[in-house]
Chains A and B, each alone.
Chain A
Amino acid sequence: MDEILHIENMTKLYKNGRGVKNITLSVNRGDIVGLLGPNGSGKTTTMKTVVGLCKPTSGEISVFGLDLNSHFEDIMERIGVLIEAPALYGYLSAYRNLKLMSNFYPNVDDRRIDKVLEIVHLSQYKNDKVSRFSLGMKQRLGLAMALLSEPELIILDEPANGLDIEGMVEIREIIRALAEKYGVTFLVSSHLAGEIEKTCTRVAIIHEGDLVDACTMDEALAYNPTLEDYFLTVIKENRGDIVV
């Protein structure tokens, strides 16, 4: 399998002692990997470190076979990112926000901007100021920004945050369609087991800063009716509890 992302023994500790410890994770081309864990478990920290928003305390990160530190610009040219609340300029329109970001990519033109706005169903609000958008609309625009450069790897941190049921289903369909049609690789985080189960082909469980398990969705559901049950089993085993 073609390895797109490899995290080796990555540790990121904050001053308060929290963070993630010794994370080792591989993501192969075409995978939709779900990072599942409760709030504060280290999902966002892991993702921020992968995209250079945080510097790891120790460990190595390579993307497309390149070291993240020494090839940051080349790597980021091929990655789309949505971390936490999307970083948007409220005083600009949706189109202007996308236009600013398109300037970093030589192959992204106005047609591509219109296309991504169409994908996230924001075409009719193209010229509206982002400050007037609802949380869900901002999340959609954040997703549009991640899709803009037709990246090979897309990292989405809680993409369903602020979306209604319809919006969550749409995002799930977009992710699956891009992975199936174009072989786009996804690393998606969520604290909702149901969301990960319906979207992802592989799952990595993160708990209190440790990556406690990583397997395919089929393996996770082989002996458990739902991913939620599998998650609880893994967490209990990790704590040393007796699993009935």
Chain B
Amino acid sequence: MRRFLANYKNELMKLMTKKKYIVFLIIAAAICSLNILITKIVSMVSKGMITMVPSAVSMNMLRFFSEIFVPLMVMMAVCDVVATEMHDITIRAVLMRPISRAKVILSKAFAAFTVGAVFYATVFIVCTFMELIFGSPSAVISNLGATFLSYLLNLVPLFVLTLLAVFINILCSGPTLTMLLCIAVYVILKFCGLYVPTIGNVVFTSFMNWQQLYVGHIIPFHAIISKVGILVGWGVVMFSGSYLLFDKKEF
């Protein structure tokens, strides 16, 4: 565990030194703020005919960020810590240290996943803060638990997506090609999920907004359990595949 945590800390430190993540974090916060401000302006201009529903902005933003923005950030982070390091051979610096290859891969995946989690946290905090200012504070506070849970639930498919990105990174060579392939695979899986119903039920990218299952008075346990099973299955296959490929690689 000590070695895993050491490398997790190192990978996070390396990602934090890259300014692009800070820039994208600011962009994410700006998108949230602008969305709420525009909604407020529209509400004022339409004299209340179009109004802001408490917590709706947070949930709308979650849908947008969980489908496009955060997956892209996670793929980029995985490319930075896996494909780029394999390409310029700096990965040797870690492989010649007292840490097994399984721990190297897992710690890199967790570091990239943490980047995604930080984006979700930023979006959640900014949206909640803006809604408290421009919306109804009592309504926001009463929905805070459900909104927070929705954000939390979205971390599960995000981790599986991280493992898929790691798998593609190990399979390919060259960071640019890998990033493009990650995006292409994600788009194909999304497309299949939307337009091929038989595949859509087993493709984890269809669950990027699965928090909707938990909203409502009756929680569909059956659907949730089957989706959890599919996510775990994808996760295990992706990690096992990544480890097997990485273990065979020579540097």
Q: Would B92 and A74 count as touching, CB distance under 8 A?
A: no
Q: Name the B residues within 8 Å of A182 (CB-CB).
A: none
Known: A53-B250, A54-B250, A100-B13. A73 touches B91 (CB 8 A): no
In the complex, B251 has a CB within 8 A of chain A: yes
Q: Would B96 and A104 count as touching, CB distance under 8 A?
A: no
Task: Tell me the A43-99 residues at the B interface (CB within 8 Å).
Answer: 48, 51-55, 72-77, 81, 83, 85, 87-89, 91-92, 96-97
- Residue ID in chain A nearest B103 by CB atoms: A73
Q: Would A104 and B93 count as touching, CB distance under 8 A?
A: no
Question: A70 to chain B: closest CB distance in Å?
Answer: 11
Central interface residue in B3, B6, B90, B93, by most chain A CB within 10 Å: B93
Question: A191 to chain B: closest CB distance in Å?
Answer: 21
In the complex, B222 has a CB within 8 A of chain A: no
Instruction: Mark contacts of A20-58 with chain B using CB atoms, 8 A cut-off: 1 yes-contact digit, 0 otherwise.
Output: 000000000000000000000000000010011111000
Q: Name the A residues within 8 Å of B9 (CB-CB).
A: 103
Q: Would A72 and B250 count as touching, CB distance under 8 A?
A: no
Bound state CA distance, A90 and B92, in angstroms?
14
Bound state CA distance, A204 and B7, in angstroms?
36
Q: In the complex, which of the residues A55, A73, A85, A145 contacts B98, with contact meaning CB atoms closer than 8 Å?
A: A73
Q: Name the A residues within 8 Å of B97 (CB-CB).
A: 76, 101, 104
Q: In the complex, which of the residues A53, A74, A77, A145 contacts B95, with contact meaning CB atoms closer than 8 Å?
A: A53
Q: Would B96 and A81 count as touching, CB distance under 8 A?
A: yes
In the complex, A106 has a CB within 8 A of chain B: yes
Known: A54-B250, A87-B90, A104-B7. A76 touches B2 (CB 8 A): no
- Residue ID in chain B nearest A51 by CB atoms: B96
Considering only CB atoms and an 8 Å cut-off, how many residues of chain A contact the other chain? 29
Question: B62 to chain A: closest CB distance in Å?
Answer: 33
Q: Would A92 and B95 count as touching, CB distance under 8 A?
A: no
Bound state CA distance, A55 and B98, in angstroms?
17
Question: A48 to chain B: closest CB distance in Å?
Answer: 8
- Residue ID in chain A nearest B96 by CB atoms: A81
Question: A65 to chain B: closest CB distance in Å?
Answer: 17
Question: B2 to chain A: closest CB distance in Å?
Answer: 7
Q: Name the B residues within 8 Å of A106 (CB-CB).
A: 2
Q: Name the B residues within 8 Å of A101 (CB-CB).
A: 93, 97
In the complex, B89 has a CB within 8 A of chain A: yes
Central interface residue in A51, A85, A96, A101, by most chain B CB within 10 Å: A101
Question: B91 to chain A: closest CB distance in Å?
Answer: 7
Question: A15 to chain B: closest CB distance in Å?
Answer: 11
Question: A200 to chain B: closest CB distance in Å?
Answer: 22
Helix, strand, loop or mixed for chain A's interface? loop
Q: Name the B residues within 8 Å of A55 (CB-CB).
A: 248, 250
In the complex, B33 has a CB within 8 A of chain A: no
Known: A74-B98, A103-B9. A87 touches B3 (CB 8 A): no
Q: Name the B residues within 8 Å of A77 (CB-CB).
A: 98
Bound state CA distance, A54 and B248, in angstroms?
9
Bound state CA distance, A103 and B2, in angstroms?
9
Q: Name the B residues within 8 Å of A51 (CB-CB).
A: 96
Question: B156 to chain A: closest CB distance in Å?
Answer: 29
- Residue ID in chain A nearest B5 by CB atoms: A103
Q: Would A53 and B92 count as touching, CB distance under 8 A?
A: yes
In the complex, B122 has a CB within 8 A of chain A: no
Q: Would A83 and B96 count as touching, CB distance under 8 A?
A: yes
Question: B95 to chain A: closest CB distance in Å?
Answer: 6
Residues on A lying within 8 angstroms of B by beta carbon are 48, 51-55, 72-77, 81, 83, 85, 87-89, 91-92, 96-97, 100-101, 103-106, 145
The 10 A-B pairs with the shortest beta carbon distances in the complex, nearest first, are: A87-B93, A87-B92, A76-B98, A77-B98, A103-B6, A81-B96, A104-B97, A100-B10, A73-B98, A54-B250
Residues on B lying within 8 angstroms of A by beta carbon are 2-3, 6-7, 9-10, 13-14, 17-18, 89-93, 95-100, 248, 250-251
30 A-B interface contacts by CB (under 8 A): A48-B250, A53-B92, A53-B96, A53-B251, A54-B250, A73-B3, A73-B98, A74-B98, A75-B98, A76-B97, A76-B98, A76-B99, A83-B92, A87-B89, A87-B90, A87-B96, A89-B90, A89-B93, A92-B17, A96-B13, A96-B17, A100-B10, A100-B13, A100-B14, A100-B93, A101-B93, A103-B6, A103-B10, A104-B6, A145-B93
